[in-house]
Amino acid sequence: MKKSLFSEILEWAGILAVAFVVALFINNVIITNSYIPTPSMESNLPVGSRLFGFRLNYLFSKPQRGDVVIFDYGFECKNCHKMYQKNEEAKCPHCDTESKGCKKVHFIKRVVGLPGEHIEIKADYTAEQELFRTTKFSDENIKATCGHVYIDGEKFEEDYLNEPMIVNNFFRSIDVVVPDDCYFLLGDNRNNSEDARFWPNQFISIKDIEAKAYIIYWPLNRIGLIK
């Protein structure tokens, strides 16, 4: 017996509804679909990249040094449209608007400091300016003060950086101890990244880390695992 048109429509509507619920569950519970709008993680995550993160990665384990993580940073104010980090007052520090109803802002950075560790960023050498891609001067011979991250007094070598890290009055030196259940996060494009060196609260709580970034899926010529 042939199905009526109405029965066909109901059947397809049910299939689409189930597919929608499954997709919603996967996107909100299992994976996160993220977009890279800024150059703060270049050259590993170029602007315009789209990637998948795994939300369940830290259900039974904790973030490790070197993980690229997606986390809840704060809000974009519905009144003044400026971004700001979450704070105890639950208000925009620029215009005093309540955070409720403001658009959530997520960042993606790399885990550098783990709970309890002593993290330092300090200048320890100078380099010719021609080495730098992001900072431009008319005088090619000018020298820049550069440095490294130190963890519990030991220099931390970061092979994912594509240029020396500037340390000066703007790119701040750091000397902190990471609190329990918190992490110290930095961008890979160290000389063009708004990260823990500039945030009002330098540490990100484990509860605000939503996923570990795993794979770039777009554009097609960038498909690959995130290192």
Q: What is the pLDDT of residue 193?
A: 94
Residues 209-218: tens digit of each pLDDT = 999 999 999 9
- For residue 72, the SS3 value is strand
Q: What is the mean pLDDT of residues 164-193?
A: 95
At 65-124, the pLDDT tens digits run: 999 999 999 999 999 999 999 999 999 999 999 999 999 999 999 999 999 999 999 999
Residue 38 domain-assigned (yes or no)? yes
Which CATH number characterizes residue 75's domain? 2.10.109.10
pLDDT of residue 28: 64
CA 212 to chain CA mean position, Å: 10
What span, in angstroms and rounded, lies between the C-alpha atoms of 182 and 113?
A: 9
- Rg over CA atoms, the chain: 22
Q: What is the mean pLDDT of residues 18-39?
A: 74
**Regarding predicted confidence, which is higher, 180 or 31?**
180
In whole angstroms, give the CA distance from residue 130 to residue 47.
23
pLDDT digits over 125-159, tens only?
988 766 665 555 545 556 789 999 999 999 999 99
H-helix or E-strand containing 8? helix 5-25
Of the candidates 219, 223, 211, the one whose C-alpha atom is nearest the C-alpha of residue 107 is: 211
pLDDT at 59: 87
149 located within any domain:
no
- Does residue 194 lie within any of the structural domains? yes
**Cα 13 versus chain centre, distance:** 38
**Global confidence as pTM:** 0.86
Residues with Cβ within 8 Å of residue 12, at least 6 apart in sequence? none
Q: Which residues contact 147 (CB under 8 A, 6 or more apart)?
A: 121, 122, 123, 124, 125, 165, 166, 167, 173
Q: Let me know if residue 133 belongs to a domain.
A: no
Determine, yes or no, domain membership for 165. Answer: no
Tens digits of residue pLDDT in 35-62: 999 999 998 999 999 999 999 999 889 9
Decide if pLDDT at 34 tops 70: yes
Q: Is residue 126 part of a domain?
A: no
Structural domain count of the chain: 1
Residue 5's H or E segment, with its range, is helix 5-25
In a domain, 129, yes or no: no
Split at pLDDT 50, 70, 90, the class of 22 is low
Share of the chain above pLDDT 90, in %: 70
Instruction: Find residue 70's DSSP bridge partners.
Output: 108, 211
Residue numbers of the domain that contains 89: 5-115+184-225
pLDDT band, very low/low/confident/very high, at 199 (cuts 50, 70, 90): very high
Tell me whether residue 21 is in a domain.
Answer: yes
